[in-house]
Structure 1
Amino acid sequence: MTSTGDVGLFGPDSVTWKVLREPISILGGLRSLYLQALHPRAVAAIAQNSGYRADPWGRLDRTSMYVETVTYGTTAEADQAASRIRRLHARMTATDPRTGETFRIDEPDLLRWVHVTEVESFLTTARRAGLDLTEEEVDRYYTEQLRSAKLVGLDPTSVPATAAEVTAYYEAMKPELSLTRDSAETALFLTVPPVPASWGSRPLRLGLTLGPTRWAYFGIAATAIGLLPPWARKIYGGLGWATTDLSADLSVRGLRLLLKAGISALPERYRVAPKRREALTRAGLA
């Protein structure tokens, strides 16, 4: 089959497609939220503007759809999705709880932090789960992701474009990061989110629930936390030991194998996300 249309911002030969076709990338999304919560202004903006507490699973679904559209949609679809996000953010402000200052949530510094933590988390999670990438592919992935950064309103020249630049960016950001009340509450919510009753959990005190689904999610959240850089775990009050990294690597590799086995058991039409299937068709690879 030959190519019949626009394959979007990246295409089948991109490292971005190679990374994000991994089902384990959803764990990278969770890891990025723990990282984002360490930026006092970023987490204040989320706490004051987002409805994630009232509808966490709906927000997760909408965020996943945005990432899927930007990754696999046509150029027009990606532009349209990003335009909606930019218009939404342009109307929002938040108050810095430390200074009382009001700020726009689409400030470049905040957009850059969210972008870098997200794309780095997808990549790091996939690699630690066993995805084999060369150093050249890693740098190419970050360079490709400048297109995503531009979509949300960032100047691509201001965004880290290689692994070395991402490392330097994190080093420069460390003095600005801390554990605030918003950070702690967000991290707790990410670790113990409400689970629909239909998922087989029973209520406990403090509004928590317990059951097979809860215990499974605990393991997933613990793995996401273990995948954080040692300096981030220390801010949360955890340990930066290498043994934590080793156990997280073993856990995420096991999760990747389980996901692959589970997906392979599904009927063929459910094994590939709709947007990816459409992109493969346009690329002549379906």
Structure 2
Amino acid sequence: MTVRNPVHALRSRVGHQVFLKIAGPDGDAARLRVHDTPGPRWFPPGSPIRRVHADVTTFVGGLRALLLQSLHPLAMAGVAGHSGYRGDPWGRLARTSTFLAFTTFGAESDALRMVQMVRDTHEKVRGTAPDGREYDAGDPHLLTWVHIAEADSFLAAHQRYGERPLTPEQADEYVAQSGEVARRLGAVDVPTTTAELTAALDAYRPELHATAAALDTARFLLREPPLPRVARPPYALLASGAVALLPAWARSELDLDRWTTRSFGPTAGALATHGIRWLMGSADRRASTVDDQSSARDLDETSSR
């Protein structure tokens, strides 16, 4: 009789709990659909977008993206007026992670369905910001801002904390690939290289500042996370790593300079990602599993013709 290593058993159990916290209660079913549904995919096995989105550094990058995105007053007004971070933070995280999974790894038919669901949701998110300006979540200019903040954050986290950082050429390819999804959502003038991504962020800079809602969001995400006490110390490490990756001007706008000096910054981010990676497996292992499944599925489809 084979006796299972208790450490491995604990690692598997806790890792699965972390997965369900991020992917939501239907995460297992969604994962099966993503990887087992036959049909062509938008991105081939081994592509930069698959490498980046398979890595646990997306946890750090996702938090950085939320903080950075909040600095556009109209984008923040849409979130605050129609969902907010306090109302359903884990549901919001699950929807975002599910969207990334289907558009990065899923069958084209499912990826298109997810894009249409998001576009339909955006149709309902309209209103007036506290400064009197009207906002519309389907506005191509706002969609582009949300995209570049996300792409820059995922890439920054992967290059700083990832197991195998991308080469400059691969980083350009990641920007181009993530831009394909953004264009399908309605974004315009989408960057296709890291240089264009940097230029796009600079171009939005005059529009960005911290509103009361943005400051409340930062306080909630960093100081009042909806987690049990036992989970807050490791989350604080992850949050420190995310804040350390923000541009200096963004940390200043969100009043995070003093908070940053009291944390371990990049070292904390590295510890957090190492810990999560130990629980959930390396990016290479998880990406290769996905790619192996894709290759097997493609072989089955070819054989059946």
User: Structure 2 length normalisation: TM-score?
Assistant: 0.76
More helix by share: 2
Structure 2: stretches of 5+ with no match in the other structure: 1-36, 299-305
Judged with a 3 Å threshold, the aligned counterparts in structure 2 of structure 1 residues 217 and 255 are, in CA distance, closer, same or farther, namely: closer
Shift of residue 94 of structure 1? Answer: 2.2
Partner amino acid for 2:147? H
- Determine whether 1:89 maps to 2:122: yes
2:86 is aligned to 53
2:102 is aligned to 69
Of 127, 146, 153, the residue aligned with 1:114 is 146
- Determine whether 1:254 maps to 2:286: no
Match runs of 1:195-210 below 5 Å: 195=226, 199=228
- 4-13 vs 76-85, which moves further: 4-13
Task: Give the structure, 1 or 2, with the largest relative contact order (CA under 8 Å, sep 6 or more).
Answer: 1
C-alpha distance in structure 2 between counterparts of 1:97 and 1:280, whole Å:
50
- Determine whether 1:15 maps to 2:48: yes
C-alpha distance in structure 1 between counterparts of 2:230 and 2:143, whole Å:
37
Shift of residue 159 of structure 1? Answer: 0.8
2:112 is aligned to 79
C-alpha distance in structure 2 between counterparts of 1:169 and 1:239, whole Å:
24
C-alpha distance in structure 2 between counterparts of 1:285 and 1:231, whole Å:
47
- Are the equivalent residues in 1 in contact too, given 2:78–2:126 (CA < 8 A)? yes
1:165 is aligned to 196
Of 210, 213, 216, the residue aligned with 1:185 is 216
User: Structure 1 length normalisation: TM-score?
Assistant: 0.81
Aligned to 1:97, the other structure's residue is in SS state coil
1:219 is aligned to 237
Shift of residue 62 of structure 1? Answer: 1.4
1:284 is aligned to 296
Residue deviations 1:42-79 (CA, integer Å, cap 9, x gap): 10110001153222112111111111111111111110
- Are the equivalent residues in 1 in contact too, given 2:38–2:297 (CA < 8 A)? no
Equivalent residue pairs, number: 257
- Determine whether 1:235 maps to 2:253: yes
Aligned to 2:277, the other structure's residue is in SS state helix
Structure 1: stretches of 5+ with no match in the other structure: 200-210, 266-270
